[in-house]
Amino acid sequence: MVTTTRAAKMAETRAKLIAAGRKAFAEKGYSGASMDDLTADVGLTRGALYHNFGDKKGLMAAVVDEIDTVMATRAHDAGQKAGGGWKGLLAEGAAYIEMALQPEVQRIVLLDGPAVLGDPSQWPSQNRCLQATIATLQDLAAEKAIKPVDIEAIARLLNGVALNAALWVAASETPEATLPKVVAAFECLASGVLITPESRI
C-alpha cells in the first residue's frame, strides 16, 4: 500500500508548480508568464500557488533558487574534479559559462532574476557559489600565489565575468564558435590575480 501523506502531496504540488514555473518563465519571460495558465498546465489553480509561494515573485524565487543551486554545485564539482587551486578556479568559471548556454538559465537566472529579485549577489544560492570561489582564492592566497587584493571583491568580479561571458555566448549568433574565445578571455583576465606570469595559460 502506498501511503500518500499530505506533506508528500504538498511537496508534489510544490514540485509541479516549480516545474511549470520554470517552463513558463523560460518560454515567456517573467512578466509574460500567466499564473492562470501555468497552474492550469499542471491541473491546479492560482489558489495552490498563492498558498504555497505567497505571490508570483515567491514562485520566481523558488525557481531561481532551484536552478541556481544546481549551477553552483555543478560548478563546484567541476572545480574539484580539476584538482582545485588555480586550475579548479578556471574550471569553475568555464563550467559556469557553459551552463549559461541553456536558454532557461539565461532567461530566468541572468535576465529576469536580477530585475525581479534584485542583485544576484544577495541570493542565497549565489552566496553559496561565491563562498566556494572565496575558499578557492583563500587557498591560493595562503600559497602566496595571488596578489594581495580583497578576496571577496575578486571573487565577486570573477563570478560576474563568468556570468557576463555566459550572457554574451548565449546571445551570440554562433555560440559554439564564441565559447572557446570567451573561455580563453576569461582565463586571461583571471590570470591578472596571479603573481607569477608563468602561470598564465
Q: What is the dihedral of CA 184, 185, 188, 189, to 10 degrees?
A: -150
Residue 82 binds which of its own copies, DNA, none (CB < 5-8 A, kind-dependent): none
- d(C-alpha 182, C-alpha 4), whole Å: 49
Q: Between 29 and 84, whose beta carbon lies closer to DNA?
A: 29
* Count of residues engaged in binding its own copies, rule: CB under 8 A: 48
Q: Locate 200 and state its grid cell.
A: 598564465
Q: In the chain, what's the furthest Cα-to-Cα distance? A: 66
Residue 121 binding its own copies, by CB under 8 A = yes
The SS3 of residue 195 is: coil
Q: Locate 191 and state its grid cell.
A: 590570470
**Could you say which DSSP state residue 45 is in?**
-
Number of neighbours of residue 47 by Cβ within 10 angstroms: 9
Residues in 7-66 that interact with DNA by CB under 7 A: 9-10, 13, 33-37, 39, 43-48, 50-52, 55-57
Residues in 8-37 that interact with its own copies by CB under 8 A: 29-31
- Contact stretch for its own copies (CB under 8 A) within 13-21, 33-41, 75-83, 179-187: 179-187
Q: Which residues contact 14 (CB under 8 A, 6 or more apart)?
A: 52, 62
Where do contacts with its own copies occur on this chain (CB under 8 A)?
29-31, 110-112, 114-116, 118-119, 121-122, 147, 149-150, 152-154, 156-161, 163-165, 167-168, 170-171, 178, 181-182, 184-186, 188-195, 197, 200
Where do contacts with DNA occur on this chain (CB under 7 A)?
5-6, 9-10, 13, 33-37, 39, 43-48, 50-52, 55-57
